[in-house]
Each structure stands twice: as C-alpha cells, then as structure tokens.
Amino acid sequence: MSHANQRRFIIEPGGSLSGDIRVPGDKSVSHRAVMLGSVAEGVTRVRGFLEGDDAMATLAAMRALGVRIDGPEAGALTIHGVGLHGLSAPDEPLDLGNSGTSMRLLTGLLCGQRFATTLIGDQSLMTRPMRRVTEPLGQMGADIVTSDKGTAPVGIQPVTSLMGIDYPLPMASAQVKSAVLLAGLYARGETAVTEPGITRDHTERMLQALGYPVEVDGPRVALTGHGRLTGGSIQVPADISSAAFFLVGAAIGAGEAVTLLDVGLNPTRTGVVEILKRMGADLEVIAKGDGAGEPVGDIRIQAASLEGIEIPPSLVPVAIDEFPALFIAAACARGETLLRGAEELRVKESDRIAVMATGLERLGVQVEALPDGIRIVGGRLGGGHVQAKGDHRVAMAFAMAGLVADGPIVIDGCAEVDTSFPGFAGLARSAGLPIAVEEQAG
Ligand code: S3P
C-alpha cells in the first residue's frame, strides 16, 4: 500500500480546462459501503466504488476479516454480508496504507469483536493521532493500545461487552463520530455523539439506508446497539473532494465552461462550492436527485476573476479536505484570503498548512502560515519546483496551479494521488491540463 515508487508531475504553462468531467467515486462513501455492507445481513451491491488505494485498503481489511467481496469491476462490488457478529479474526495485522479513515473507522468497528486485531499503515499513517478515537472507545469499555505518542500500531483486544456513551466530540471530526457510532452497534444501550460543528454524515445516512435506526437531533446523533443492518444497493456519487481540483482549475483558468458530472452534493461536503461562490466564482449547481440517501448533481463552472475572502469558521469542517485546492484559488484571487480555525489541517496526510505554504512561496506567492490557518495574498503565480510530501491533495492542488503559472511547475512526491484519485493525470490531461508524469523506482 505504501508507495515505493516516486512520482513526479510536470505541468507546462498554457493549458486550459474544458468539457464534461466525471471524477471517480467518493472516498468517504466507498469506505463506509464496504464496512457496512460487510456487517449487514445479505448481499449489498455497490456501484461507483472508488478503486483507489485507500478504499481498497478497507476492502482488503474486510476480506481479511472473513467477508467475501466480489469485484471491484468497473466500480461494481458485490459484498456478501456476514451480519454484525459474523466477522472472524484476521491472520495478520491489517495494513491500511495511507488511509486515516480506514484506521479510525475500523478501530470503532473492531473494538467490540470477540477477537484481537492490530492495525498498521504507511509512514504517514503511523504518525497520525489515534487517541481521538481510542479515548472515547476506551470510555465505552474497549481495550485498545497505541504507541506512547498515541499513534499506530493500534492493538485491539476483545472485551466481553461495550457500554453506550453520550460523547461530546472535542473536535469537528466525522472519523471520530463514525468510530464511536460503529462501536455503538456493539454496545449496550444508546450511544450518542454531539458534534461542535457540522461534519460529514455519510455514516448516519448509510446506516439508515441499510435499515438501522439512527436518531439525529441537531448536532446530536444516537443509535442503540445490537440492531440489524440489511444489505441493499449503494450508488457511490463522484467525489466532490476530487471534483474540487477541477472546480478550482476551471475558476482560475482561461478555458471554457467545465461541468463536473454526478457529484455528491451532501450539504456536509459542499463548503468548497460555497467558498468559491463567495470568492466570485461563476458556478451553477444542477441537482439531479438522490442515491441511497446521498444527493447528487452536476456542477458547471467557468473562469471568473476571484476575490480574496475571510473564510467563515462554520465552513471549515464542510470544506476540510478542499483547502489545498482552495489555497491555489486564493493565490490567484485579488486581495487577501484568511483562513483560521483550521488546525486540523496540520494532522492530515501531511501538515497541509506547512506544506502548502512552502510550495506557494516557491511559486512566488506571498503567504503566512498561522498555527490554525493561513494568510494568502493573491497575485501572479510563477513556475517552480514544489514538494507534495506524499500528500495526494497537495499534489493535485499544485497541478492545477500549472494552469495559471507563467513557467513549468514540477511537483515531487505525487504517487499517493492513487489513494483517492487513480487516473488523475490522464483525466486532467484529457480535460486540457498539460501534465506529464515521471515514475522513478524508489
Ligand atoms: C473523513 C473525514 C475527514 C476527512 C477525511 C475523510 C471521513 O476527517 O478529512 O479525508 O471519511 O470520515 P476528520 O473527520 O478527521 O476531519
């Protein structure tokens, strides 16, 4: 799962995007489809599954836990669910690669099982904070050990039972919320989570779509353990987080209109649309309906002159993965953009504040990294050599900067793009980005 190979992107100046673009399936929904389909009773058919390394790590983990899963074949999976109590002990530690979502959600799902499991990952994942999940799960009675630093390996021992808790989330994190709710499936009584800000609610929606009762009351989500999930059909929408790179590329570029097709429009994920609109983007959302509880539609966007803005704190959790792309939009906007209250960006696949600030500086942008955000003064973007530091979203964000830079942009550390967006370079090239890829054996 970890990438021994090094990948470099080289983007020549002068490109512009146009046409209809369909990006791969939503990563968050793909993880949940595999996990919940596995512990449902009966067959779950998934379409539009993201065949990226992260979701594939979850799929391999569920197989190692004894679940038969056919596919993926062109995004289609058939999961032969084993029910909540049908998982079996894996033969070896589960390697979750680069995927924080796999590790945090599986810690929740597996801490109430009758067998032990160990979760490991790549270099980046082994440094990411896990106490945020082990702490509330411990309160539920789970027996989980991490390193002294609170990082993986995550060692889960079986316990006789878990108890429901009423947990106020200390940070706006859908991964923590989901881990507690998934453990709650195995707990006595009610398990509730109250979030301090809106976070993605795919877990709640999919539990309900598979017939598990979930009570949502404003910021509080509750469920009662030991119910049943029933297999069903899940259509995974295109990932708005992957679409975000093309939205930004179209907004800053000089091309014609671009339409992103069949994108997930769950309101807990559409902060990027709202922020781009506030910056002056020429953008239209065309709702198309609903698939297994997730709203879907097209987003049409064309180039416009953008203005820097102060990003409202309420939009931070609903745009959390899109900031690398949005920082590129800010670098091309007139005036200053200020982001605060986004300290979570420091513990993503990389420290996204530091890595983006360093790269933007390399391209000649005036930028100030803040402990919990960034200040970016928009202006002219130059070419240059930047490091993505193995962070997929940083790599794709800087690739889009190539649409406006006045020289070539060379980006190192791009192999992890495959975690969320396999085929990115090819799709971007066919949409009009002059991107070349160099692979080097590492
Ligand atoms: C995710 C939640 C977010 C997001 C991550 C995927 C999920 O993390 O950044 O890429 O699928 O639940 P946090 O919940 O930790 O903010």
What digits encode the pLDDT tens for the residues 65-105?
A: 999 999 999 999 999 999 999 999 999 999 999 999 999 99
* Residue-number span of the structural domain to which 404 is assigned: 5-25+238-441
**Is 178 touching ligand 1 by the criterion CB < 6 Å?**
yes
Q: Are 401 and 437 within one domain? A: yes
Is residue 290 part of an annotated ligand binding site? no
Is 26 an active-site residue?
A: no
Strands 373-377, 366-370: parallel, antiparallel or unpaired by DSSP?
antiparallel
Are 80 and 178 found together in one domain?
Answer: yes
CA of 78 to the centre of ligand 1 (A): 25
CB 346 within 8 A of CB 366: no
218: Cβ contacts below 8 Å, ≥ 6 apart: none
Domain boundary among 188, 209, 235: 235
173 is in an annotated binding site: yes
Annotated ligand binding at 100? The verdict is yes
Specify the CATH number for the domain of residue 40: 3.65.10.10
Distance of alpha carbon 116 from alpha carbon 376, whole angstroms: 47
Asked if residue 365 has pLDDT above 60, the reply is yes
The pLDDT, as a whole number, for residue 442 is 66
Same domain, 145 and 285: no
Q: Would you state the torsion angle of the CA atoms of residues 296, 298, 304, 308, taken in this order, to the nearest 10 degrees?
A: 10
Residue 27 marked as a ligand binder: yes
pTM to 2 decimals?
Answer: 0.97
Residues 151 and 119 in one domain: yes
Q: Are residues 288 and 413 in the same domain?
A: yes
What is the C-alpha separation between 206 and 216, in angstroms, rounded?
A: 13
CA separation for the pair 268, 84 (Å, rounded): 27
Domain-ending residue, one of 212, 235, 258: 235
Best of 101, 105, 322, 323 for a ligand 1 pocket test (most atoms within 8 Å of beta carbon): 101
Atom 9, ligand 1: residue with shortest CA distance = 321
The total domain count for the chain is: 2
For the packed helices 27-39 and 174-184, what is the interaxial angle rounded to 10 degrees? 10
Atom of ligand 1 nearest to the CA of 178: 12
The pLDDT of residue 399 is above 50: yes
* Pair (144, 266) in one structural domain: no
pLDDT given for residue 97 in this prediction: 98
Average pLDDT over residues 138-156: 98
- Do 293 and 204 share a structural domain? no
| pLDDT tens figures, 280-336 | 999 999 999 887 789 999 999 999 999 999 999 999 999 999 999 999 999 999 999
What pLDDT was estimated at residue 1? 41
Q: Does residue 4 have a pLDDT over 80?
A: no
Ligand 1 and 182: CB distance under 6 A: no
Mark out the alpha helices in 15-143 (DSSP H runs). Answer: 27-39, 53-64, 100-110, 131-139
Q: What is the number of the ligand 1 atom nearest to the C-alpha of 199?
A: 14
CA distance 226 to 36: 14
288 is in an annotated binding site: no
Check whether residue 190 and residue 255 sit in a common domain: no
**Could you tell me if 203 and 261 lie in one domain?**
no
In the prediction, which pLDDT does 326 show?
A: 98
Indicate the top mutation candidate among 54, 173, 202, 318 to test ligand 1's pocket, ranked by most ligand atoms within 8 A of CB. Answer: 173
Residues 259-264, mean pLDDT to the nearest whole number: 98
375, pLDDT greater than 60: yes
Tell me the residue type at 411: I
- Ligand 1 midpoint to CA 405 (Å): 31
392 CA distance to ligand 1 middle (Å): 14
pLDDT, tens digit (0-9, with 9 covering 90-100), for 6-28: 999 999 999 999 999 999 999 99
Rounded average pLDDT over 391-407? 98
Any atom of ligand 1 within 6 Å of the Cβ of 282: no
| Domain finish residue from 202, 235, 268 | 235
Average pLDDT of the residues of the chain? 97
- Residue among 53, 95, 122, 321 flagged as catalytic: 321
